[in-house]
Amino acid sequence: MLSINSIVFFIGILLLIGIASSKFSARIGMPVLVLFLGVGMLAGSEGVGGIAFEDYRLANSIGSVALALILFDGGLRTSLASVRATWKPALSLSTLGVLLTSILTGFAAAWVLGVPLLHGMLLGSIVGSTDAAAVFSILRTSGLKLPERLTATLEVESGSNDPMAIFLTVSLIAVIMGTADSVAGIALLFALQFGVGAGVGIGIGYGAAWLVNRINLDYPGLYPVLALSLGLLSFGLAAVLGGSGFLAIYLFGIVLGNSSIVFRNGIFLFHDAGAWLGQIVLFVMLGLLSFPSRLLEVSGEGLVIALVLIFVARPLAVLISVFPFHFRLRELVFLGWVGLKGAVPITLATFPLLAGMEGGSLLFNVVFFVVLVSAVTQGWSLPLVARWLKLGKTSDPVSPVTLEINALRHVDGEIVEYVVTPTSKVAGQVLRDLALPYNVLVALVVRRDNVIIPRGSTSLEPGDHVFIAMRTRLKPLLTCLFDACPVVPPLSPGMQFEFRADSKVAQLHWFFGLTEPDGTGNQPIGSLLQPGEDGSCRRLGPFVVTMGDTPGKVTLTYTDHPDCQRQCIER
């Protein structure tokens, strides 16, 4: 038996190889999770490493914790606005879509393997869900920037469909083993998986946001640990109460990530590292759990089942599930193609083995082979399919530097990084011509590997990374300068902006997305304000312009009240 020191040594070696393989995967265009699996298989009992590992119960436990870390990080980075926009199609995919995929694949599996129909349906249920770990990994490392609605639908679906897969798997195992409760009991299991998981995740999420902001920790490094502990609490509590821990921690991450919390960037970076560690541990361990010789024995049957799953079951399930939600045809094709399988099916495939079900080993090996085929074909071809369908564009390059505020108390400000694209409103503009609000400062410009200290004469070129310090409330408006906004972000009545008095009227129209001014575009906004009863303020679109409290400044107050607007002379 290996000593603890030897075990730690081998774990370090496997982690290093896993990290190196992630770099290699980018060069050959192979999904990184496939290489992680490959590292585990090479290190396994039939590989060069010769590490014997066949403890399915331990693998299930480690896999659950690792997947929880991955889902937590995925939830942190999921925009609540995206969830609100896509929860209906995503929920349909994660329930009806999983059910249809499972049924269609189950019929094929029963016929191909020559097993009873219930056994085939069990295999279909195990591979029926889209895997969150695989989807998050592929979308983050593919180098593609997909339409936001499409990305959000895939992420929310993959993060929320595990309860359905677990429900179907557990229920079918109980029926096959003769331990199933009544139909009412099975329905209760379904309700508990979704209801308890969602309730616990959302409830603890809001409680965590409140606690993180009010607890006074003297050491910054404790805030990410606090967030992790609360996330694991939501996972464990939901599971103990009979709900889905995976759904709970994913929703917990969404709530916490979309809340205004202290030490936000530190929490995000910590859990990004945790998610990568979870991916490496999870897929390397699953690779160790496999036996290539056993996979070869079921390769023929596994390939047929995988082809039915990829080309028939998933596309039909997507077409039926999201038909009412007005996706374009090419988006439907893409959704049908990105039914990636990964850690969850392999983890679920250990359930029949743990239950002592006859034929459990056959199901595990077939599921493992199907996951390999899915990860290699769908994962590797995802960027190609997106470009072929004209859905994806190359994602923005990662800046070689970072600049951020790590505050242990709430501050009314943040530093935001933007990337200048050829279609950005600021592309080709000189900083002094932007007429940014007084509480906005361009702090740093990074052009390729060069750090530029911004001056008024600095121009912004496509590809530049621009770091801007601003009041938090100004972020939506500033974002529209760099990313095309179909509509101007809504403003609250009474919201005020302070500008330099020498800012041109046309510049202010440009900043707020107003129509071009007539005749006064080149005049400084301050020159329009003259002393006197009717000259102390002017109307600029929906704004009332007055002299600011600071010399050389003017204040623009947004108002939608006609009486307030009529008090000033319209310009």
Question: How would you classify the pairing of strands 450-452 and 440-447?
Answer: antiparallel
pLDDT at 53 over 90: no
Claim to verify: residue 75 and residue 143 sit in the same structural domain: yes
Claim to verify: residue 258 and residue 335 sit in the same structural domain: yes
Q: Which band of pLDDT confidence, cut at 50, 70 and 90, is reported for residue 332?
A: very high
Length of the chain: 571
Q: What is the pLDDT of residues 479-493, one digit of tens each?
A: 888 876 666 677 788
3-class SS of residue 104: helix
Identify which of 53-62, 72-81, 387-396, 454-463 has the greatest average pLDDT: 454-463
Q: What is the pLDDT of residues 21-40, one digit of tens each?
A: 777 766 666 677 778 888 88
Report the C-alpha gap between 270 and 257 in whole angstroms. 13
As separate numbers, helices (DSSP H) first and strands (DSSP E) second, the chain gives 24, 11
State the number of CA atoms in the 13 A half-sphere of 232 facing the CB. 12
Report the C-alpha gap between 307 and 331 in whole angstroms. 21
Question: Whole-model pTM?
Answer: 0.79
Supply φ then ψ for residue 504, to 5 degrees: -70, 150
Q: Which band of pLDDT confidence, cut at 50, 70 and 90, is reported for residue 97?
A: very high
Report the C-alpha gap between 196 and 539 in whole angstroms. 53
Q: Which band of pLDDT confidence, cut at 50, 70 and 90, is reported for residue 529?
A: confident
* Average pLDDT over all residues of the chain: 83
Domain boundary among 417, 451, 484: 484
Report the C-alpha gap between 419 and 467 in whole angstroms. 9
Domain boundary among 460, 484, 508: 484
Claim to verify: residue 501 and residue 480 sit in the same structural domain: no
Q: Which band of pLDDT confidence, cut at 50, 70 and 90, is reported for residue 211?
A: very high
Q: Which band of pLDDT confidence, cut at 50, 70 and 90, is reported for residue 385?
A: confident
- Domain span at residue 512 reads 493-571
Predicted confidence at residue 160, as pLDDT, reads 81
3-class SS of residue 394: strand
Question: How would you classify the pairing of strands 537-540 and 569-570?
Answer: parallel
Contact 481, 471 (CB under 8 A): no
Claim to verify: residue 174 and residue 261 sit in the same structural domain: yes
Claim to verify: residue 243 and residue 331 sit in the same structural domain: yes
Q: Which band of pLDDT confidence, cut at 50, 70 and 90, is reported for residue 148?
A: confident
Q: What is the pLDDT of residues 244-295, one digit of tens each?
A: 898 899 899 999 999 888 888 889 889 989 988 888 888 888 888 888 888 8
Q: Which band of pLDDT confidence, cut at 50, 70 and 90, is reported for residue 534?
A: very low
Q: Residue 4, exposed/middle/buried by CB under 10 A (0-12, 13-18, 19+)?
A: exposed
Cα separation values, 409 from 164, 189, 505, Å: 40, 43, 38
Domain boundary among 339, 372, 390: 390
Percentage of the chain lying above the pLDDT 70 cut: 87
Contact 220, 261 (CB under 8 A): no
Give the residue-averaged pLDDT of 541-568.
Answer: 73
pLDDT at 302 over 90: yes
CATH number for the domain that contains residue 328: 1.20.1530.20
